Amino acid sequence: MTFGDYLRQFRKEKGFTLRALADAVGVDFSYLSKIENGKPGYLPGADLIRSLADALGTDPLELLQLADKVPPEIEAIAGYANARRFLQRAQEIASPADWDALLGLLERRHKGREKRHKDE
């Protein structure tokens, strides 16, 4: 499924008309139509994709991934819904101490897996 196909389907599922969604994100409806129809040269930038995700109440990383706009540093985790939810929630509530604790937890779990693997 292309980015435009997904956008059209999701927009309709959320009950938006093309004009209403275009107004919500501050673009002309004809531009949004060209995106949905996959016209060459009409793939939106990352900021517009984030605005579309916000207006539609969906995960911006999912839309960014469909548009091949995910930074390479997070490409590996972008395909996992739980990882995207974790990052979104952590961004909303985590303090610097939480990030340190989470990193420590991940390191301990990794060492435990390595130890089990060696013992096998």
Kindly state whether residues 10 and 68 are assigned to the same domain. yes
Sign for the pseudo-dihedral over CA of 33, 38, 43, 46: positive
Could you list the residue range(s) of the whole structural domain that residue 110 is in?
81-119
Conformational region of residue 26, where left means phi above 0, alpha means psi within -120 to 50, and beta covers everything else: left
Instruction: Count how many domains the chain has.
Output: 2
* Per-residue model confidence (pLDDT) at position 74: 85
Q: Does residue 104 share a domain with residue 63?
A: no
* Confidence category of residue 118, pLDDT binned at 50, 70, 90: confident
Which residues neighbour 2 within 8 Å (Cβ) at sequence distance 6 or greater?
38, 66
Tens digit of each residue's pLDDT (9 = 90 or more) over 95-113 = 999 999 999 999 999 999 9
Please check whether residues 106 and 57 belong to one and the same domain: no
